[in-house]
Amino acid sequence: MEYKEFCEQLIELVGGKENIQSVTNCMTRLRFKLKDRDAAKTEEIKELTDVIDVVSNEVAYQVIIGTQVQEIRPEMNQILGLTGENKQSETGEKEKFVTMALRVLSESMGPILIPIMAAGLLAGILSLISLTGLVSAEDSTYMILDSIRQAVFFFLPVLIAISFARNLDVNEYLAVTIALTLLSETINGVKGLDFLGLKLPETTYSNSFFPIILSIIFMKYVGKVLEKVMPKALQYFFNPVLILIITLPITLILFGPLGTYIGEGLNFVFDFVGNTFGSWSVVMLYAALQPFLITIGAGNFIIPIFMNSYATLGYDPVFTVAWIISDIAVCGAVLGYFFRSKDQKQKQLFATTAFSAFMGVTEPAIYGVFVKYRRPYLAVIIGGGLGGLFAGLMKVIGYAPVSLFGLASFIGQNNYKNFYMMIVAVIIGFVGAGIAAFILGIPDDEKVKGKSAVSVETNEEAVTKLLVKAPVKGKNVVLSNVNDKAFASSALGKGLGIEPEEDLIHAPVNGEVVSLFPTSHAIGIKTEYGVEILIHIGINTVELEGKYFESFVKQGDQVAVGDPILRADMAGIRSEGYDPVVITVITNTADYLDVLPSNDSSLSSQEDCLTVVV
């Protein structure tokens, strides 16, 4: 249990075991389905050692960790008392159909990528071995190893049945039985079949995975109906066989043709786009914009599309090419920053994230560098876009879903031109993004501190946040506990209070002094991004008529983070019987998605105390 302590901390911070409905993972992140997302302490989770970032959207509450998530997930399952893939618990809350569909699709497709990528990488290795002449394609050793790749793609419906059954709470063994039946010699691709006199269309189930997905969904509802109508004493004996004999004919009659039409429809869309705009446009756009999709947690939604291409066409004309170019462009962009930076701490960050991106895992670079400095996004748009444009114009296609290390798979069946053009496209993406990042440069730290672009809790897109510093050192006071109804009710805006341990008040942001009360007990500052901050010293201290208060600024002045703006004699205020709590609120809270106060029990001056989600 190497990650036991981390798992226990994470479980507590997402709201405890009772708040977790389900946990799944993809290559780099844990995906939580939570009963109450507000119970999750997002900012504290981000501070955990193994956490890169947190993204929350309609699909899931996602904690980005890195490739070690494969080791963390089993330990978390053990602590939660789950075996294998956990089942979603019943909460009484009805999940929207679209949200449920996106979640199940995303969570089910992720695990399937592992054997598919392994098969793709094996195909690349075999191509290299064959190219060197050490082993020919007719050699039995080659054929035995290649049978792994063939098996993965032929039995893909079985893998899909397992993954979807786990996520939909369907019996996995019944799901696999249906999948294997569809792939049997008596059904798969056989002409002239009929069921009870009804002619069945010829369907090659090994070349399409949509029928099995529809079949598993249908199986779930058949099981629910049988549980209601079948006496409990008979369910164990009769429900499994009834589920099979109901699901199989419906799949053969309805889902087989329907799934085939869906697959053909996707192919038609790409043919139409290719013939109208050129397939190069899709390759270019995806290679340029993939980091944005990863930022918002939407990277998995292309999986059904490219898997359909492999199943029906035998190759992928768009996404495999595009994501490899985009990944290497991310590496190039961060490496460009490495050569541009003179700060050793920055260089270490850029070096490690560049290496991770080179290995095909771009999340550390995207969440550690891109969302902070923002300009690398533009570098990948330039470099990745150029590489994708070249690959699209040269009509490069992928024969297996691989990473950079599987480039040899682009040879396919002696298609060396395809292989060479892909290498050129990868070089263009890498060099173009690296040069663009070097030229665009690294924003000054002060600018980054003033406005940090990060991915936060949204439904569709990444947004920005403004960090507000603590104006004074002291004990953190929850706003609702402040002894003033107007502030405690958040009627004046969300924020927090601080029991001051010093007299000097500092500017919490860069901005303009837009208001200063004559008594100097309260001051308003507006940032260049429109955030309006009110700092109010004490409860009812206006009655002191300025006694014990001194201001160092006037209305209209520009202030920078940390500048002294006011002085209040806290001991004198207390001696008069007044509460000197320093209240900081965002008066235009309604203009933003949220205002999140710090959870730290005490705050030092200039430590982050509020996060405004823009």
Q: Which residue has the tokens 């550690």?
A: 368
Q: Cα separation of 3 and 11, whole Å? A: 12
> Positive or negative, the Cα torsion across 198, 201, 202, 207?
negative
Relative to beta strand 494-500, strand 474-478 is: antiparallel
Q: Cα separation of 158 and 183, whole Å? A: 9
Token representation of residue 199 = 């002619």
Q: For the beta carbon of residue 445, count every other beta carbon within 10 angstroms.
A: 10
Q: What's phi and psi for 369, nearest 5 deg?
A: -120, -50
DSSP 412-470: TTT-HHHHHHHHHHHHHHHHHHHHHHHHH-PPPHHHHHHSEEE--S-SS--EEEEEEE-
Q: Which residue has the tokens 């994230």?
A: 353
- DSSP H helical ranges for 40-186: 42-46, 69-80, 97-132, 140-154, 156-168, 172-182
Q: Fill in the DSSP letter of residue 301.
A: G
Type of residue numbered 210: F
**Adjacency order of strands within the sheet including 53-56:** 20-25, 29-34, 61-64, 53-56
Cα atoms found within 13 Å of the Cα of residue 259, Cβ hemisphere only: 30
Q: Cα separation of 468 and 598, whole Å? A: 10
Q: Catalytic annotation on 26?
A: yes
The one catalytic residue in 7, 26, 331, 609 is 26
Q: For the beta carbon of residue 268, count every other beta carbon within 10 angstroms.
A: 11
Please check whether residue 337 is in contact with residue 442, taking contact to mean a CB–CB distance below 8 angstroms: yes
Q: Fill in the DSSP letter of residue 90.
A: P
Q: Cα separation of 121 and 118, whole Å? A: 5
Token representation of residue 20 = 């977790």
Type of residue numbered 138: E
> Positive or negative, the Cα torsion across 170, 174, 179, 182?
negative
Q: Cα separation of 529 and 592, whole Å? A: 11
Q: Cα separation of 489 and 476, whole Å? A: 17
Q: Cα separation of 239 and 519, whole Å? A: 78
Q: Cα separation of 349 and 536, whole Å? A: 40
Residues 6+ apart with CB under 8 A from 542: 517, 519, 521, 522
- Residues forming the active site: 26
